[in-house]
Amino acid sequence: MPPAPLPPPTETEIQPPRVPGLSGLLTLAVGVVVLAALYVGREVFLPVVLAILLAFVLAPFVDLMRKWHLGRVPSVIIAVLVTLGIIVSLGGLIGFQLAGLASDIPRYQTTIERKVGALREGALGKLPNMLRDFGRRFDEAVGEQSPVAASPSPTSTADAPPEEPKPLPVEVHEPEPTPAQVARNVLIPLLEPLATTGIVFVVLVFILMQREDLRDRMIRLFGSSDLHRTTAAMDDAARRLSRYFLTQLALNASFGLLAGIGLWLIGVPSPALWGVFAALMRFVPYIGSFVAAAPPILLAAAVDPGWSMALMTLALFAIGEPLMGHVVEPVVYGQSTGLSPFAVVISAIFWTWIWGPVGLLIATPLTLCLVVLGRHVERLEFLDVLLGDRPALTPAENLYQRMLAGDPDEALDSAEVLLKERSLTSYYDEVALKGLQLAANDATRGVLTHRQLDQVRDVIRALVQDLGSHDDIEPPPQETEDEPVASPQSQKPEIKEPAVVGEMPHEDKISEAWKAEGAVMCIAGRGPLDEAASEMLAQLLKKHGLGSRLVPHEAASRSAIYNLDASGVQMVCISYLEISGTPAHLRYLLRRLRKKVPKAPILVGLWPAEDAVLKSETMRSTLGADYYVSSMRDAVVQCLKVATGEEGLPQTVTTGQAANEAAAAKRLPLPA
């Protein structure tokens, strides 16, 4: 017999986590260098990033022209020239609108002064006097309670210092600027944005010319192990990004157009300017529309002697933004971005700090590109974890975390969400068993305390009992939501086993002996959590018409097996979450059970599918069980086959997942 496992450590025996070493410091240093480079080199990085985002927008247009049998070079040149023309036209329109608005500002001054005077004469103007009167009364009340201070002795006029002579006023008149100075003052501020625009379009041309080559170089740079699969995934992600950015640009431009038309009908000056401003500010998450509404509302209040124009402008944005954000966008997009709301806010703050107002406008598109890279490039996976909207923990890890926290309600809530799209057997196999395996591995390593083990047992027992009301059937298909823009194409799809019902014989073929209580004896292994796995199996067998009974491991021990009630037992199922080395204890347990119930077939459930027993036919024959399975579904299917007396079916199951592989093994002879 192998030595007994050590007891779990106490709270004081748990070792503290290790302090991050050189690798952690190196990662921190790299992060600091990257941040410094982004901040210091914004004049270089910002045009490149803008060119990349524009390339995503123009890529569908270039592909469309290439389908019209235009070459790559003409298609790129036409797309860039059209974009440049649109930007120049918008710039000219904004300039004319600003010039007209500046010339009309003195005309609005009288209206503003009249409204401010009316506010001063009203209740708002009386408020300062009321506050001063209240303060004076408060000071008088406090002065009556305090002793009268002695008045200072008056100073004589003879002691007063002589008055200093007042300085003479001096006026400085600058000479009239020359035409060269005027040209310099006007042109120099325009050189930087013009130079940035030129760099953006030069880089844009090269990106559009060499899209595939740049993609392949990036994949090669990050060391992908599967170039073909990753290339296909990156192409799909690029198409999704292009479609999303183009759709977002079209929707924001439509919102700006409608806002400009509405402001023109209301009578607000420079409606085209505010329409363009509204379209740009909708790229800013959450607060962009509110910021876009403030200037036209204030201008309407300055233009109109009354308040009707300002109220109509407020109503235009208050109605238009919710309609666009909650009605039009969900219908047009039909998909999520894949970003978490927290990441959107943090990214807006971060890129505004790094690159100013332009960083605020491109924060969401740029962050979305980073999340796409994180989901398709293994080395950048941390970006997806930090910024993506997918859960950071798998369902099994989340269940284990709820077990450690001793929170059965959260565990049940997560289970009910998963059961909306999968059967109970599938949930037990893919989530509950894997969560229990994580706990069993930690218990074997000795990192769980007695209290934590008790919490894990209590939570899983409560979860299984609460799920007793759920039928083990395939849930009705739900409407499939479109995948997010940042789709995890490079990752393996989630495995979901089909329900047992539908491919098994009808329950009327099960005899009454198999329906009786305790017909299938579910015995727990000797691990600390094996009893929970046996309880799951017993519950599933009952849901499929077989009578089952849960038996703890101690009841089948050498000293207690003689008192074990084996009347009416048709089959025995043993559950192990973890069995390492030579499972001699399992062999001796099977011998004892053969003597106790010699006619009942024995099934051993080794829930870790990679266990050596499942891979070695010699080891299985040495142990002497009739069937070996590694999933709850296989166990239920095998018990139903034995109970209904099906002929010509394999009677030893060694597969780990019946959804992917057919069970095929040879019946082992029962020992004499």
H helices present in 286-432, as ranges: 288-303, 308-323, 329-333, 341-361, 363-376, 381-387, 395-405, 408-418, 424-427
Q: Is 327 a domain residue?
A: yes
Beta carbons of 79 and 204 less than 8 angstroms apart: no
Quick one: pLDDT at residue 24? 63
Residue 365: which of 286, 283, 291 has the closest Cα?
283
Host H or E run for residue 603:
strand 602-606
Name the DSSP class of 55.
H
Token digits for 508? 């009327």
pLDDT tens, residue by residue, 235-278: 777 887 888 888 888 899 999 999 999 999 998 888 999 999 99
**CATH number of the CATH domain containing 456:** 1.10.1240
Residues 245 and 374 in one domain: yes
Domain extent for 251:
228-387
- Whether 371 and 293 map to the same domain: the answer is yes
| CA 366 to mean position of chain CA atoms | 16
Identify the pLDDT of residue 479.
55
DSSP 574: E
Q: Are residues 538 and 462 in the same domain?
A: no
- Tokens representing 171 are 């006026």
In a domain, 661, yes or no: no
Q: Which residues of the chain have pLDDT under 50?
A: 1-20, 148-151, 155-158, 480-481, 489-493, 502, 647-672
CATH of the domain at 591: 3.40.50.280
Contact between 372 and 485 under an 8 Å Cβ cutoff? The reply is yes
Q: How far apart are CA 602 and CA 669, in angstroms?
A: 12
Q: Pick the closest to residue 361 from 296, 284, 286, 267 (CA basis).
A: 284
Same structural domain, 248 and 369: yes
pLDDT of residue 258: 92
Q: What pLDDT does 253 receive?
A: 92
Short-list 340, 296, 343, 347, CA closest to 317: 296
In a domain, 294, yes or no: yes
Give yes or no: residues 319 and 373 share one domain: yes
Rounded to the nearest 10°, the torsion over CA 309, 313, 315, 321 is 180
Same domain, 345 and 454: no
What is the helix (H) or strand (E) element at residue 522, kind and residue range? strand 520-524
The verdict on 626 and 519 lying in the same domain is yes
On whether residue 552 sits in a domain, the answer given is yes
pTM (predicted TM-score):
0.65
User: Is 658 within a domain?
Assistant: no
Please indicate, yes or no, whether residues 518 and 617 belong to a single structural domain of this protein: yes
For residue 530, is it within any domain? yes
Is residue 283 domain-shared with residue 374, that is, in the same domain?
Answer: yes
The candidate with the shortest Cα–Cα distance to 606, out of 569, 566, 634, is 634
Domain boundary (346, 370, 387) is at 387
226 contacts: CB under 8 Å, gap ≥ 6: none
Residue 19 contacts by C-beta under 8 Å, 6 or more apart in sequence? none
Whole-number pLDDT of residue 535: 92
Q: If you ran DSSP here, which 8-state letter would residue 575 be given?
A: E
- The bridge status of strand 548-551 relative to strand 520-524 is parallel
The token pair that represents 612 in the structure block: 């050596």
Q: What is the pLDDT of residue 544?
A: 86
Q: What values do phi and psi take at 603, rounded to 5? A: -115, 135
Please name which of 374, 361, 469 lies closest in space to residue 416, comparing C-alpha atoms: 469
Alpha helices in 68-163 (DSSP H): 72-121, 123-145
Find out whether 200 and 51 touch, Cβ atoms under 8 Å.
Answer: yes
Is residue 652 within 8 Å of residue 628, measured between CB atoms?
yes
323 within some domain: yes
Number of structural domains (the chain) is: 3
pLDDT digits (tens, 9 = 90+) for 194-228: 888 888 999 999 999 888 888 778 777 765 566 66
Q: 353, 387, 421: which is the final residue of a domain?
A: 387
Single out the residue in 470, 498, 521 at which a domain terminates: 470
The pLDDT value recorded for residue 15 is 44
Strand ranges of the sheet holding 548-551, from the earlier edge strand across to the other edge: 548-551, 520-524, 571-576, 602-606, 627-629
Distances (CA, A) of 59 to 66, 212, 348, 569: 11, 12, 25, 69
Same domain, 321 and 362: yes
Place of tokens 């990257």: 34
Domain co-membership, 464 together with 519 = no
CA distance 141 to 131: 15
Residue 570: count of CB within 10 angstroms of its CB: 22
Q: Are 83 and 56 in contact (CB under 8 A)?
A: no
pLDDT at 256: 92
pLDDT score, position 539: 92
Same domain, 301 and 327: yes
The CA-based dihedral angle spanning residues 95, 96, 101, 103, taken in that order and rounded to the nearest 10 degrees: 110
Paired with 388 in beta bridges are 339
Residue 575, token pair as written in the block: 């559950």
pLDDT of residue 259: 92
Name the nearest CA neighbour of 239 among 56, 54, 363, 50. Answer: 56
H-type alpha helices, 419-505: 424-427, 433-445, 450-466
Say if 633 falls within a structural domain: yes
Residue 287 and residue 303 in contact, taking contact as beta carbons nearer than 8 Å: no
